[in-house]
Structure 1
């Protein structure tokens, strides 16, 4: 493709890069991006988003931010995908405060985060034990019109249970049911495990029976 005349469009190069990413050959995709640059194939926002994603998967988050700087230098407008990729990369490295700061910056610049971005931040907060921040973030999602799904609620319920906040977890669980959202096995298992640890046999049996009735 590089030596073909006329040279294929950047769209065709992006399709090839995307194929390598789907095969998780991130280093190869990065190498190909460098070759494209050497042969003066002008990248578009899709190319640069793919490159950012590769660096994040390789644990080279600083390089990912360098690509963002390159975008701005080239006059290429970053997208929600650009920011969500970097936020996900930061969360994977447990840099949650940095991820939240980037999230706030994203909103401040007028970008509208999608549900995936919100869920990524929420999951990162829970995994790092930022329980109360996770609850506040969940409420912020609701206030901004992004109704969390059962996966998001279960993530927070699990975080509350693991941090010994069973009553708060039960309150949130009840709230989920009042909203008409069907609890899943994960949310039940979190509560049942926490109750077993506290020796609450009667309540554990009730929840177990309730879970069985929903799956029948």
Structure 2
């Protein structure tokens, strides 16, 4: 199997291991970009521990990391439930002057959510926004993507909706609100209250009234405080 082989054509992890051994024996060694392609394929096979081990070997051989290899490592640690190691990778990135981007941080947020550490996740989100990361629909879909093994509930949605509303990101908050309803997650009074207050603050009285009427039509109790 050639080093130039296409990792996407692999049927199993054994083929990937053969190519990896060829790559580390080759001189000069392939760049981290080539290793990233191979290890990204192994990640899609969900062999996260193998990927972590491979990157350790690559590092010992003197192949420098880039932001994409760091992102792969962060994802593997989060998938393995080692969120603390994921944050250690983030610390290493910063120490080496490698700027993390939204994928790095949203992966950590997702990992925190999977462990039920919602308050930590929203704190990291707030820190991201304060540092200039712009909230957008793709980013929040990443946070709450069930395909990554995290199934959000109403508490999760309420937490992020409240944080978005306080940041003035009403459109993104409404996107999450719609997403929750599509997934069959029933909003509580807390959910509606966050959105209605944000609408009034932005001078959107008609939209706030419409949402209030929707809440009443759905028999959402004004006395309920569930959801946080």
Q: TM-score with structure 1 length normalisation?
A: 0.66
CA gap of 1:69–1:130, structure 2 versus 1, over 3 A, is: closer
Find the aligned partners of 2:145 and 2:47 in 1 and give their Cα distance.
28
Distance 1:132 1:126 in 2: 10
The alpha carbon displacement at 1:116 in A equals 4.0
Contact kept, 8 Å, 1:55 with 1:64, in 2: the verdict is yes
Question: How far apart are 1:142 and its partner, in Å?
Answer: 7.5
Query: How far off is 1:70 after superposition?
Result: 0.4
Distance 2:123 2:185 in 1: 25
Change (3 A) 1:22 1:132: closer
**Partner Cα distance (2:64, 2:75) in 1:** 18
Give, in angstroms, the shift of residue 108 of structure 1: 1.1
Q: Paired residue for 1:152?
A: 179
Kindly indicate whether residue 123 of structure 2 is the aligned counterpart of residue 97 of structure 1. Answer: no
Partner of 1:21: 43
Cα distance between partner residues in 2 of 1:152 and 1:139: 16
TM-score, structure 2 as length reference:
0.63
The SS at the match of 1:78 is coil
Per-residue Cα deviation, 1:24-66 (whole angstroms, up to 9, x for no partner): 1100110011001110110100000000000000000000000
RMSD over aligned Cα atoms:
3.8
1:143–1:48: structure 2 CA closer, same or farther, 3 Å change rule?
A: closer
Whether 1:76 and 2:98 are equivalent positions in the alignment is: yes
**1:100-146 CA deviation, whole Å, 9 max, x = no partner?**
00001111111223324334269989626367545534646873543
Q: Distance in 2 between matches of 1:52 and 1:131?
A: 24
- Alignment partner of 2:125: what SS? helix
- The 3-state SS of whatever aligns with 1:31 is helix
Q: State the distance in 2 between where 1:138 and 1:158 align.
A: 19
Give the gaps of 5 or more residues in structure 2: 1-22, 197-206, 212-217, 221-228
Q: Which runs of 5+ in 1 are unaligned?
A: 180-190, 195-216
- Answer with 96-105 or 124-133: which moved more: 124-133
Structure showing the higher helix proportion among its residues: 1
Q: Where does residue 186 of structure 1 map in the other structure?
A: none
Q: In 2 relative to 1, CA 157–24 (structure 1 residues): closer, same or farther, beyond 3 Å?
A: closer
After TM superposition, the structure 1 = structure 2 runs for residues 9-158 of structure 1, keeping only pairs within 5 Å, are 9-119=31-141, 120=143, 127=153, 129=155, 133=159, 135-137=161-163, 139=165, 143=169, 145-146=171-172, 148=175, 152-154=179-181, 158=185
Q: How many residues align?
A: 175
